[in-house]
A = this chain, B = another copy of it.
Amino acid sequence: MPKSRPVQGLTATPPTQQPAATVREVAAAAGVSLATVSRTMNGGAQVSTATAQAVREAAAALGFRPNLVGRRLRAGRSHTIGVMLPTLQHPVFAECLSGIEQSAQSHGQVVALTTTQYDPANEEAASERLLENRVDGLVLTVADWRRSPLLDKLDREHMPYVLVFNQTGLVRSGGRAAKYGPGAARVSVSVDNRLAARHMVEHLIELGHRHIRMIAGQFSQSDRARLRHRGYEDAMGNAGLQAPPAVQLPFNTTEAAAALHEVVTAHPAPTALFCSSDHLALVVMHSLGRLGRRVPQDVSVAGFDGVAIGDLLTPPLTTVVQPVVEIGRTAVQMLHQRLSGQHMLGSATLHHSLKKGGTAASPRGQSVPAQCESHPRRSD
């Protein structure tokens, strides 16, 4: 279909960007008014089938592509959701983003993306960029949801958002449940980090371990890491075992190995290491290898996240599986719910599961290694 288009003013337009057809041109071509074209393209509500047909033909012939920027300015809604994550280098966030994107797509929305590189100082600018673009709402992960100037700002402005991975709960101040912002609690989608960690450590204890250390990463200050450590303490405490503080593993690989060397040669030496992420577990196992320790014969290792890669290791990684993609999907659904004016049902806690891989076994001279996957009891 060759397109004949009204001359646009005959400026010597460079050939490097032909202007797209507008409603006006479609209207002219179809011999109707702008309003009719608009009506046809949208609800298609009050338009006779004949004219609608004509409009659609004209639009097709002109290769009409609605300009969402115009629509947006008029409607005040952007059909865009802003996403702010610490990084994409970590599979957990990348997979979650994948879920977010899929869900947004199915809602006909577009995702605008920003990362903070784990630096809370970037949160302000990153979010601001999204807000300037007038996103309808935000899906994001912050360093610490309890003290976050960014979340304070969003609450103040009534900008809808859903946190992912951050696990919010009501904070009690002086005996009364405190809410954030004017009327809305901070809403989030996550697993029950504390319970999940407890389950994993209970698993290690069942295997016969008595000396279990928790390994935390560079981001041990994060709210999640703290909750996981609480779960570790719960399990250890319930079993009448000592729960020393988490080992903060340095960034640098060789330093990490050195730090780990100290840990595994201490007395009494831990027989199992519970890592606060899968990535950390891989680093730990790598370091252990360099120290001549075998996993799980000499020491057991467990992770947290359940990224796809863990399955492919030999032996497969023992870890807590978060439904990462589902977390992203759920967040978008909840945001959407909120945007369509429905009441938010509060935070969502998705089910985790324990993957009993091959990196955790009974300590030397004990028995009963478990090798099959199971789902955790949701007791308590």
Contacts and interface: CB of A to CB of B under 8 A. Distances in A.
Contact of A98 (B18, B73, B88): B88
Contacts of A126: 105
A112 B110 contact: yes
Contact of A94 (B80, B88, B105, B114): B88
Nearest to A341: B16
Contacts of A67: 73, 132, 134
B78 A87 contact: no
Interface stretch (A48-56, A138-146, A227-235, A283-291): A283-291
In the complex, the count of this chain's copies comes to: 2
Contacts of A117: 102
B65 A69 contact: no
A93 to B, nearest CB: 8
A50 B105 CA distance: 48
Contacts of A112: 80, 110-113
A196 to B, nearest CB: 22
Contacts of A129: 105, 110
A282 B65 contact: no
Contacts of A115: 98, 101-102, 105
Given A65-B132, A285-B314, 12 more contacts: A18-B157, A67-B134, A69-B133, A80-B133, A88-B98, A101-B113, A102-B115, A110-B130, A112-B113, A282-B312, A286-B313, A313-B313
Contact of A17 (B102, B158, B311): B158
Interface in A1-36: 15-18, 20
24 contacts: A16-B158, A18-B157, A18-B158, A20-B157, A69-B69, A69-B73, A69-B78, A69-B133, A88-B88, A89-B95, A94-B97, A97-B113, A101-B113, A101-B114, A102-B115, A102-B117, A105-B114, A105-B115, A111-B113, A111-B114, A282-B309, A282-B313, A285-B312, A289-B314
Contacts of A98: 87-89, 115
Nearest to A289: B314
Contacts of A15: 158, 182-183
Contacts of A110: 112-114, 129-130, 133
A16 B286 CA distance: 51
A182 B183 CA distance: 57
Interface string A65-101: 1111110110000101000000111010011011001
A60 interface: no
Interface residues of A, number: 56
Interface string A123-165: 0001011111110000000000000000000000110000000
A33 to B, nearest CB: 21
Interface in A210-256: none
Interface in A299-332: 308-309, 311-314
A98 B97 CA distance: 12
Contacts of A313: 282, 286, 313
Sorted from nearest, which 9 A-B pairs have the closest CB atoms?
Answer: A94-B94, A282-B312, A88-B98, A289-B314, A111-B113, A68-B132, A286-B312, A69-B73, A68-B133
A89 B132 contact: no
